[in-house]
Amino acid sequence: MPDYLASWPFWLVFVFLYLGATLRGQATYWLGRIVTEQTLRRVHPRTGWRRRVAQTLAGDGTQRGVAAIRRWGLVAIPFAYLTVGFQSMVLAAAGVLRVPWVPFTLAQLPGALAWAAIYSTVGFAVWNAAIAAAAGSPWGIATVVAIVGGVVGVVVVRRRRVRRAEAADDAPLPS
């Protein structure tokens, strides 16, 4: 647990983490909902951050979240809080699908409660133990360096592909 939270009473840490999870979930939902409405339905951005956001919301990750909600219904929302990465996809997908706010919020509550319970008890301890185990071993350090290098490589390659595609889209058509 971060040092600034370690001195707080348990109930206060729990409430703080619950509110953080709830606010993050609401922000992700509304980002998916509002940005989808603006960029995908009314405006078709060709450049800049609006295009990147539109591409992200139309991308594979959000589509996996959409598929999960279509398959499992609103039950996917609280269960998404028990995952890493998939949580954002499902919450944004709820916004993209324009799930009404009240049912979304009611479905979000048990997930945010579970997330807060996990991270106010054993979640940070497990995370810190994994980091300490990796950092204490030369193989662990090599693995962390390889993962970070792989992530950086993937980001660089994807950005280059996007730039090439944008350049091809902006190229004048032959007359």
Summarised one tens digit per residue, pLDDT across range 117-149 is 888 887 666 666 766 776 777 777 777 778 878
| Inside any domain, residue 78 | yes
Domain-embedded: residue 109: yes
Number of domains making up the chain: 2
Q: Do both 34 and 112 map to the same domain?
A: yes
* pLDDT tens per residue across span 73-86: 899 999 999 887 78
| Same domain assignment for residues 100 and 165 | no
Q: Per-residue pLDDT for 71 more than 60?
A: yes
- Tell whether the model's pLDDT for residue 95 goes beyond 70: yes
**Of the ranges 25-39, 40-54, 132-146, 153-167, the best mean pLDDT one:** 25-39
Asked if residue 55 has pLDDT above 60, the reply is: yes
At residue 60, does pLDDT exceed 70? Answer: yes
Residue 175 has pLDDT above 60, yes or no: no
Whether the per-residue pLDDT at 92 is higher than 60: the answer is yes
Per-residue pLDDT for 3 more than 70? no
Q: Is the residue at 130 inside a domain?
A: no
Residues 108 and 165 in one domain: no
Domain identity same for 69 and 101: yes
Fill in the amino acid letter for 121: T
Does 18 share its domain with 93? yes
Question: Has residue 79 been placed in a domain?
Answer: yes
Same domain, 121 and 149: no
pLDDT at 42: 66
Would you say residue 131 lies in a domain? no
**What's the rounded Cα separation, in Å, for the pair 68 and 63?**
9
One domain for residues 153 and 120: no
Question: What is the residue range of 99's domain?
Answer: 3-125
The answer to whether residues 100 and 143 belong to one domain is no
The answer to whether the beta carbons of residues 136 and 107 sit under 8 Å apart is: no
The pLDDT score that the predictor gives to residue 91 is 93
From residue 133, alpha-carbon distances to 48, 64, 137, 139, 141 in Å are: 41, 32, 7, 10, 9
d(CA 49, CA 110): 33
Are both 22 and 75 inside the same structural domain?
yes
Query: CA angle 54-21-90, nearest 5°?
Result: 40
Q: Are residues 69 and 10 in the same domain?
A: yes
Of 103, 125, 147, which residue constitutes the final position of a domain? 125
Cα dihedral 106, 109, 114, 115 sign: positive
Residues 115 and 168 in one domain: no
According to the model, what pLDDT value does residue 106 have? 96
What pLDDT, on a 0 to 100 scale, did the predictor assign at position 172?
A: 67
145 and 69 together in one domain: no
- Look up the pTM and report it: 0.63
